[in-house]
Structure 1
Amino acid sequence: MAPPTGKRVKGVQIFRPFVYGTTAQPFDEKTNPKPPGIPDDHTHSWTVFVKGIDDVDITYWLRRVQFKLHESIPNHVRMIEGEKGKPFQIHETGWGEFEIAIKLYYVPESAEKPQTLYHHLRLHPYGRTEAEKEAMRLNGNQVISWAYEEQIFNEPYEPFYEILTSGAIPPSIPASALKAASSPSASSGFSFQGKSQKEIRDRERELGFAPRTEGGVLERSAMIPLTNRPGQPFSRETEQLEIKKLKEAAVKVEEMMRKLKEEVQKKEKLLKELKEENAKG
C-alpha cells in the first residue's frame, strides 16, 4: 500500500460495481473435450474471475487480484496483474468443489489496504428446485456461480478521488482517441463530459467508432446495464425482479405473521378459559 498523499475528501462515498465468481463446464467429447495431459480424474474445466459490470475496464481502481486455490492444485496462490479492458481470471481443471479466497489490491493512489472476498467453486448446479438449478446453467451446459458486488470507497484521498471522478467514457472509444477528440480545446470544441447518452452515441458515430450497446454502461462510472443480455445477468432489470420478489416475500411473511398472531390469540383465549374453569372447580 502506498503512503497516503493529499487529504481525504470528507463526506464523500464513491462506489463501483463489479462481478466475481466461477464458471464451470463438464468435459464432453463434443462440447468441451479434455485437453491432453489433464489427469483422468478431472471432470470439469473452470474459470474464476473478477471483472467490471458489463465487462467495462476496472483497472483504474483495481491493480491486481490474488486467487488462493485449494492446496492440492500446483501453484495454488496466483497473482494476476491488471490489463486494461481484460478481466482478472485464471483457468483450471479439477473434480472437486472448494472455497476460493480472492484478495483485491487497489491502485497505489488509493492508499487502501487489500480486501478479501470468499467464493465457493461450483461444478454442479444447485438449488431447492429443478428450476433454480436450471437457472445456473448457460448455453453449453456451463454452470455459473457469479456474484454482483459494489466496491465502496469512503472519503478517498484527493489523487484517487480525481481518478474515480475523471469522467465517464464510452467503452468503445480508446482513451487516447477520446482525449484528443473530446477535449474542449480540440478543433470540434466537443466534450463528452456533461453530455446525454444520445449526444455521446451521435458523437461516437461522427468519430467513426462503433456505438456502444444500447442499455450498456459507461466506463469509469457506477452504471449498470438497463436490461439482461447473454453473458450479462446483472442489470436494472434483474434489480427490479429482485425487488419484486422481495415485495412478494414480504407480503407472504406478513400473512404468515397475521395467521400466527391469530393462532396465538386463540390459544391464549383457550388457556384463559381453562384457567377460569379450573378456578371455579
Structure 2
Amino acid sequence: MAPPTGKRVKGVQIFRPFVYGTTAKPFDEKTNPKPPGVPDDHTHSWTVFVKGIDDVDITYWLRRVQFKLHESIPNHVRMIEGEKGKPFLLHETGWGEFEIAIKLYYVPESSEKPQTLYHHLRLHPYGRTEEEKETMRLNGEQVISWAYEEQIFNEPYEPFYEILTSGAMPASSSGPNHKSSGSKSGGKSKEKDQFKQVRSEGGVLERSAMIPLTNRPGQPFSRETEQVEIKKLQEALVKVEELMTKTKEEVASKENRLKELKAEAGK
C-alpha cells in the first residue's frame, strides 16, 4: 500500500459495482473434452473471476487479485495482475467444491488496505427446487455461482478521488487522443461536448456506477433483475405479515381459552 498523498475528501462515498464468482462445467467428450494431463478423478473444469459489471474495465481502481485455492491444488495461492479491459480470472480443474479466498489489492493512489472476500466453488447446481437449480445454469451445462458486489470508497484521498471521478467513457471512445469527460482539470465543457455519453443497448459507461438496464446473455445483473428481486421481497413480506397476523390470532385464541379453563378450575 502506498503512503497517503493529499487530503481525504470529507463527507464523500464513491461506489463501484463488480461481480465475482465461479463458472463450472463437467467434462464431456463432445462439448468439454478433458485436456491431456488432467488427473483421471477430475470431473469439471472451472473458472474463478473478479470483473466489472457488464464487463467494463475496473483496473483503474483494482490493481491485482489474489485467489487462495484449496491446499491440495499445486501452487494454491495465485496472484493475477490487472490488464486493462480484462477480468481477473484463473482456470482450473477438479472434482470437489471448496471455499476460495479472494483478496483485492487496490491501485497505489487509493492508499487503501487489501480486502478479502470468500466464495464457495460450485460444481453442481443447488437449490430447494429444480427451478432454483436451473437458474444456476448458463449456456447449457455450465453452472454459475456469481455474486454482485459494490466496492465502497469512503472519503477517498484527493488523487484517487480524481481517478474515480474523471468521467464516464462511452465504449466507442478510445485511443490516445481520448479525454475523459468530467475531469477536474481544465477544459471540462469542451470535453463534455466532444463525446455524447449514452448507454449502448442498455449497457453501462466505463468508470461509472451504472448497472445494465436489462438482462442479456452472460449478464444476469441488471435493473431488470433488481426489480424482480424487489418484487419477490415484497411478495415475501406480504406472506410474512399474513403469517404474523395468523399467529397472533392463534395466540390470542389460546390465551382466551386458557383464561376460560382457569376460570372453570376456580369455581
1:205 corresponds to which residue?
Answer: none
Kept in 2, the 8 Å contact 1:226–1:235? The answer is yes
Task: For structure 2, list consecutive stretches of 5 or more residues without a partner in the other structure.
Answer: none
Query: How many angstroms apart in 1 are the aligned matches of 2:87 and 2:159?
Result: 24
Corresponding residue to 1:215 among 190, 202, 209: 202
- Give SS of 1:11's match: coil
- AA at the equivalent of 1:59: T
1:264 corresponds to which residue?
Answer: 251
Query: How many angstroms apart in 2 are the aligned matches of 1:97 and 1:180?
Result: 43
- AA at the equivalent of 2:240: V
What's the offset of the Cα at 1:177? Answer: 3.7
Q: Deviations over 1:90-114 (max 9, x none)?
A: 0000000000000000000000000
- Classify 1:249/1:194 alpha carbon distance in 2 versus 1 (closer, same or farther; 3 Å): farther
Query: How many angstroms apart in 1 are the aligned matches of 2:197 and 2:96?
Result: 47
Kept in 2, the 8 Å contact 1:20–1:147? The answer is yes
Query: How many angstroms apart in 2 are the aligned matches of 1:36 and 1:44?
Result: 14
Identity among equivalent positions (%) equals 83
Query: How many angstroms apart in 2 are the aligned matches of 1:115 and 1:139?
Result: 32
Give 1:237-248 correspondences, 5 Å limit.
Answer: 237-248=224-235
Give 1:71-150 correspondences, 5 Å limit.
Answer: 71-150=71-150
Query: How many angstroms apart in 2 are the aligned matches of 1:181 and 1:144?
Result: 36
- AA at the equivalent of 1:96: G
- AA at the equivalent of 1:264: V
Query: How many angstroms apart in 1 are the aligned matches of 2:82 and 2:240?
Result: 45
TM-score normalised over the length of structure 1: 0.90
RMSD of the alignment, in Å? 2.1
Give 1:223-234 correspondences, 5 Å limit.
Answer: 223-234=210-221
Q: Deviations over 1:215-235 (max 9, x none)?
A: 000001000000000000000
What's the offset of the Cα at 1:56? Answer: 0.1
- Give SS of 1:176's match: coil
2:3 corresponds to which residue?
Answer: 3
- Give SS of 1:246's match: helix
1:200 corresponds to which residue?
Answer: 197
What's the offset of the Cα at 1:174? Answer: 1.7
Query: How many angstroms apart in 2 are the aligned matches of 1:112 and 1:181?
Result: 25
Moved more, 171-180 or 132-141: 171-180
Q: Deviations over 1:114-164 (max 9, x none)?
A: 000000000000000000001100113100000000000000000000000
Kept in 2, the 8 Å contact 1:31–1:140? The answer is no
- Give SS of 1:178's match: coil
Query: How many angstroms apart in 2 are the aligned matches of 1:157 and 1:107?
Result: 12
Q: Deviations over 1:7-38 (max 9, x none)?
A: 10000000000000000000001110111111
TM-score normalised over the length of structure 2: 0.95
- Give SS of 2:263's match: helix
Q: Deviations over 1:195-241 (max 9, x none)?
A: 7xxx435xxxxxxxxxx631000001000000000000000000000
Query: How many angstroms apart in 2 are the aligned matches of 1:181 and 1:54?
Result: 20
Q: Deviations over 1:237-268 (max 9, x none)?
A: 00000000000000000000000000000000
- Classify 1:193/1:242 alpha carbon distance in 2 versus 1 (closer, same or farther; 3 Å): farther
Kept in 1, the 8 Å contact 2:57–2:86? The answer is yes
2:22 corresponds to which residue?
Answer: 22
Task: For structure 1, list consecutive stretches of 5 or more residues without a partner in the other structure.
Answer: 202-211
- Classify 1:77/1:274 alpha carbon distance in 2 versus 1 (closer, same or farther; 3 Å): same
Query: How many angstroms apart in 1 are the aligned matches of 2:116 and 2:182?
Result: 37
